[in-house]
C-alpha cells in the first residue's frame, strides 16, 4: 500500500520535487481506486475489459519506485517515474500511459521547480512522445485526450501563472475532449461510453490536483458518480477480434537499438498484427502488439537481445470472460414491476450456453444458468 502522510505547504505558482512526488502518488491511488469502473468502459481496441487494470499496474509499478526514494531531486523523481512505468507497462493503454509519463518527465527532469510554462511544455512533450511511440495513432482515444490537455495547457500558460487556475482549466477541457470521443470512434458511440484510456488519464490528473491542494482523500471509498451501462455487448463480437493475442515483452538489447532497427522491427510487427507500440529507452525496448502468432514476434525480437517480462493474453478468451461477468451482474439485478424481459436464444459458445436478454431497451449477454436463476426469482 502506498501511503501519503506528510503535510506540505504548497506554493500555488510552482511545484517542487516533493510536491510532484505527492501529486504522482495521489494520481496513482485514484487510478487504482477507479480501475474496475474504467475496465467497464473498455470496448476499444478490443472489448476485453482490462484497460483500468493495465493502466493501474503500469502506474503502480512507477509508484513503487517513487516511494523508495528519500527526499528526491527532480531528476531522480523523473527517472523513477519514467523507468518504473516503462518496465511495468501492461497492455496497449498501459504502454501509452508510460510514454506520456516518459515524455512529461523528460521535459521537467532538469527543473528545480515547475511553473505553468514548464508544465505546459511537459504536457506537449508527453503528447509528442506518446504519438511517436504508436505505430498508427487513432483519434478518440487516450492520445486525443492527451493532445487536448497539451493544447489547453499551452493556451492557459499565456493567460495565468497561478497553478490553481491553470490546472482546473486543463482538467475541465480534458473532460470536454473525453466526452467527444464517442463522436470520433463509432464503437464508443454504439456502446454509449467514453474512451476508457482517456478516462484513466483524467483520473490520474484529478488525483494529482487533489494532492496539489493538500487534500487527504481515501479514493477507495469514492464511487463514480454514474454507473457504466454498455448499450450493446454481443457474444458474436469475438469474431471481430482480428488478432487474438495481446503480446508484450521487453528486449534487453545486447547492442545499440538504432532508429533503423526500430523502423525495421515496427515494419515486421505491422505485417503480423496491429496495436503496435515500440519504445526504445537506454538499453531496453518495450514491445506491444496484437497478433495471431506471438511466436513470430518473439523470434524476431530475439535477434536484438534477451527477452524479459513476457506476457501473452488470449483476448478472445478475456472477452468471453467479460461477457460472463456482465451476465452475473445483470442476473443479480431484480426486475422492476412492469418490466418486460425478452429472451432470444443464441447458438452455444464453447463450454458455455449464452443467451441474449433484452431488459427494456438494453440488450445484455447473460449465462443460461443465471437466466434460469433470474426467472425462478420472478
**340 with 362, same domain?**
yes
**24 with 172, same domain?**
yes
- The predicted structure's pLDDT at residue 1: 46
**57 with 110, same domain?**
yes
Domain for residue 45, yes or no? Answer: yes
- The predicted structure's pLDDT at residue 139: 92
Q: Which domain holds residue 167?
A: 15-221
Domain for residue 6, yes or no? Answer: no
Q: What is the CATH number of the domain that holds 254?
A: 3.30.70.100
**309 with 324, same domain?**
no
C-alpha to C-alpha distances, 355 to 21, 104, 231, 339, 346, nearest whole angstrom: 49, 47, 16, 18, 5
**113 with 101, same domain?**
yes
- The predicted structure's pLDDT at residue 326: 59
Last residue of a domain, one of 269, 288, 314: 314
Rounded average pLDDT per 10-residue block, the chain, 378 residues: 47 90 95 91 68 93 93 94 91 92 96 96 97 88 96 97 96 97 89 91 96 78 46 46 87 88 91 87 87 93 92 80 61 55 44 44 46 50
**133 with 195, same domain?**
yes
- The predicted structure's pLDDT at residue 131: 94
Closest C-alpha to 68, from 77, 57, 58: 77
**268 with 353, same domain?**
no
Domain for residue 230, yes or no? Answer: no
- The predicted structure's pLDDT at residue 360: 42
d(CA 54, CA 95): 9
- The predicted structure's pLDDT at residue 323: 63
**37 with 154, same domain?**
yes
- The predicted structure's pLDDT at residue 281: 81
Q: What is the CATH number of the domain that holds 141?
A: 1.25.40.340
Q: Phi first, then psi: give them for residue 84, nearest 5 degrees.
A: -65, -40
d(CA 309, CA 298): 12
Grid coordinates of 377: 426469482
**104 with 161, same domain?**
yes
Q: Please, are residues 354 and 367 in contact by the beta-carbon 8 Å criterion?
A: yes
Amino acid at each position: 500500500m502506498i501511503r501519503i502522510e506528510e503535510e506540505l505547504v504548497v506554493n500555488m505558482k510552482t511545484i517542487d520535487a516533493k510536491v510532484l512526488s505527492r501529486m504522482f502518488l495521489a494520481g496513482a491511488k485514484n487510478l487504482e481506486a477507479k480501475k474496475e469502473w474504467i475496465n467497464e468502459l473498455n470496448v476499444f481496441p478490443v472489448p476485453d475489459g482490462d484497460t483500468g487494470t493495465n493502466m493501474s499496474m503500469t502506474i503502480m509499478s512507477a509508484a513503487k519506485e517513487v516511494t523508495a526514494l528519500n527526499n528526491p531531486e527532480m531528476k531522480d523523481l523523473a527517472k523513477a517515474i519514467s523507468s518504473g512505468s516503462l518496465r511495468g507497462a501492461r497492455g496497449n493503454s498501459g504502454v501509452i500511459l508510460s510514454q506520456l509519463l516518459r515524455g512529461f518527465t523528460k521535459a521537467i527532469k532538469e527543473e528545480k521547480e515547475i511553473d505553468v510554462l514548464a508544465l505546459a511544455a511537459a504536457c506537449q512533450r508527453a503528447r509528442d512522445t506518446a504519438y511517436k511511440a504508436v505505430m498508427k495513432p487513432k483519434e478518440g482515444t487516450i492520445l486525443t485526450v492527451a493532445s487536448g490537455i497539451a493544447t489547453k495547457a499551452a493556451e492557459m500558460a499565456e493567460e495565468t501563472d497561478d497553478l490553481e487556475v491553470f490546472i482546473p482549466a486543463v482538467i475541465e477541457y480534458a473532460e470536454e475532449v473525453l466526452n467527444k470521443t464517442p463522436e470520433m470512434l463509432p464503437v464508443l458511440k454504439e456502446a454509449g461510453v467514453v474512451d476508457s484510456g482517456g478516462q484513466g488519464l483524467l483520473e490520474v490528473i484529478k488525483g494529482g490536483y487533489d494532492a496539489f491542494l493538500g487534500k487527504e482523500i481515501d479514493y477507495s471509498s469514492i464511487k463514480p458518480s454514474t454507473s457504466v451501462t454498455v448499450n450493446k455487448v454481443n457474444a458474436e463480437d469475438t469474431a471481430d477480434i482480428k488478432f487474438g493475442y495481446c503480446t508484450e515483452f521487453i528486449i534487453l538489447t545486447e547492442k545499440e537499438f538504432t532508429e533503423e532497427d526500430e523502423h525495421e522491427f515496427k515494419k515486421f510487427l505491422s505485417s503480423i498484427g496491429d496495436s503496435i507500440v515500440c519504445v526504445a529507452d537506454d538499453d531496453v525496448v518495450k514491445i506491444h502488439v496484437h497478433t495471431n502468432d506471438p511466436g513470430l514476434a518473439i523470434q524476431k525480437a530475439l535477434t536484438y537481445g534477451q527477452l524479459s517480462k513476457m506476457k501473452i493474453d488470449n483476448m478472445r478468451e478475456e472477452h468471453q470472460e467479460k461477457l460472463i461477468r456482465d451476465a452475473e451482474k445483470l442476473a443479480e439485478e431484480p426486475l422492476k414491476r412492469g418490466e418486460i424481459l425478452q429472451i432470444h436464444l443464441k447458438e452455444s459458445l464453447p463450454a458455455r450456453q449464452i443467451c441474449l436478454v433484452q431488459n427494456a431497451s438494453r440488450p445484455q449477454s447473460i449465462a443460461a444458468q443465471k437466466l434460469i436463476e433470474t426467472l425462478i426469482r420472478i
